Amino acid sequence: MKKLALVLGSLLVVGTAASAKEVVPAPVVVPEKVVEVVEKPVIVYRDREVEQGWRPNGSVDLQYRWYGEAENKTKKEDTVGDWARAKRTNAGRLQVVSDVNFTEKQNLNVRYRGYNTLGGEKSTIGSNELRLRHFYNFGTLGDSKVNAKSRLEYKADTNDAGTKRVEASVGFDFSEYMFSNDYFKVTDFTLRPLYAHEWQGHGNDDSVNELGLNLESSYDLPLGFSAEFNLYGRYDRKLKDNRYANDKKYDLNLGVEAYLYNTTNLYKNGNFGLDFIFEGGYDEYTIHKDKVVKNLAKNYERREYSLYALPALKASYKPTDFVNLYVAAGAEYRNWAVTAESEAKNWRWQPTAWAGMKVSF
């Protein structure tokens, strides 16, 4: 029995070793690297616009205007002088106006006007002119609704012996205190104290110091109408030995301007429009303390005025949101030569037309 047990044990050991040689080891599984793609969320605001910061802005307006010949006087009329303002007869005018807001509170307005003759015996022009204006907006004063804005101005005829003028003023706008409704709105009601100095050429022989107080106002009315009413109170004092016509060194006067404007659309198709435009009124009515206005009889009186009307048709086209092309033609009716109040007469038509382009940026 012992021998049998030993034989069976030996067979069991040999069988186990043989089975162990046939076992294949299990493969080692290496996990793959996982690449994660993370997308940043894109947020689209459809219900509100993101406000952009302030940036400089403005416009440039380039315009050329033609002045025709005013109606001739008749042989029976005893008047003298020019039959168009500032000798603008058979002449053209190139005007460039640049208006730039270079900070949130500061504005610079530059206007140049250059005249040229267009031929003919009666072709005359006035002097070329440059005007610079700088504005600074101080905002409202304290807890009030009064807005304060300063203005510095330089104005000069470009010819060597022409008139030059510098002016400093501050305007106080009270329009927020004025009555307004859906049919009548006060858009400007400014009181402006000012100081100005005016001279001619390069010398100071005919210079004038000026103190003034202006009322400048404008109004929106129904049916495309608007209005403007201005008062200019002045105390002018000549320097050195110069005198006014009354042989005094000073002149105290009040200027009145009253204008009515209207724009009525006649046709519109897309970016093209045709409008009837009108402006007219007193430009200006001046009252002097003393008699300094020369009339036809070579005497002097205190009052003078120029009254005019200018109807015209204007066509405009906007090829882009920033460019506006326009052309207009009409005629101006005015008492060009005789303005002394007691003798104001001889209103005459003068045809005029202009075309231009305004670019905003």
Instruction: Dump the DSSP string for 300-350.
Output: EESEEEEEEEEEEEEEEEEEETTEEEEEEEEEEEE--SB-BGGG-B--EEE
pLDDT of residue 248: 76
d(CA 196, CA 207) in angstroms, rounded, equals 11
Amino acid identity for residue 191 in this structure:
L
Residue 137: how many other CB atoms lie within 10 Å: 16
Cα separation of the two ends of the chain:
119
Residue 120: how many other CB atoms lie within 10 Å: 11
Q: Which residues pair with 199 in a beta bridge?
A: 164
d(CA 309, CA 341) in angstroms, rounded, equals 18
Contact between residue 93 and residue 84 where contact means Cβ atoms under 8 Å apart: no
pLDDT of residue 265: 97
d(CA 214, CA 208) in angstroms, rounded, equals 18
Per-run averaged pLDDT (10 residues), the chain, 361 residues = 51 48 51 56 55 88 93 58 66 96 97 88 78 97 96 91 92 96 95 95 78 98 96 90 71 96 97 98 95 85 95 97 97 90 88 97 94
pLDDT of residue 4: 47
Q: Which residues contact 194 (CB under 8 A, 6 or more apart)?
A: 167, 168, 169, 210, 211, 212, 213, 214
Q: Which residues contact 267 (CB under 8 A, 6 or more apart)?
A: 273, 274
